[in-house]
Amino acid sequence: MNDVLPQTLEPVRYFLETLNSDRWFWVFRIAFAVCMVFSAVIFIFFRKRLPNDEELARKKKKKKI
C-alpha cells in the first residue's frame, strides 16, 4: 500500500522539480512583468480617453436642447 502513493505522485514530483528550475523562474517573472506593463498602458490610455468621450456626449446633449 505504501508503494502505490509514491508511484502516483511521481508525475507531480517531476512537474514541481521542473518548475523549480531557474528557467521557469525567469519565464514567470517576464510574463508577470509583461502583464503589468500591458495593464498600465491600458489604464493610462483609458484614463485619458474616457473624460474626452464624456465631454463629447455632454456637447451633443447641449446641441439637441
pLDDT tens digits for range 36-57: 999 999 888 877 666 566 677 7
Give the pLDDT score at 39: 95
Domain extent for 9:
4-64
For residue 64, give the C-alpha cell.
Answer: 439637441
Nearest Cα neighbor of 34 from 23, 22, 26, 24 is 26
- How many percent of the chain have pLDDT more than 70? 77
Model confidence band, residue 65 (pLDDT cutoffs 50, 70, 90): low
pLDDT at 58 over 70: yes
Helix, coil or strand: residue 44: helix
Are the C-beta atoms of 24 and 18 separated by less than 8 Å?
Answer: yes
Domain count, the chain: 1
The predicted model gives 10-23 an average pLDDT of: 80
Are the C-beta atoms of 11 and 17 separated by less than 8 Å?
Answer: no
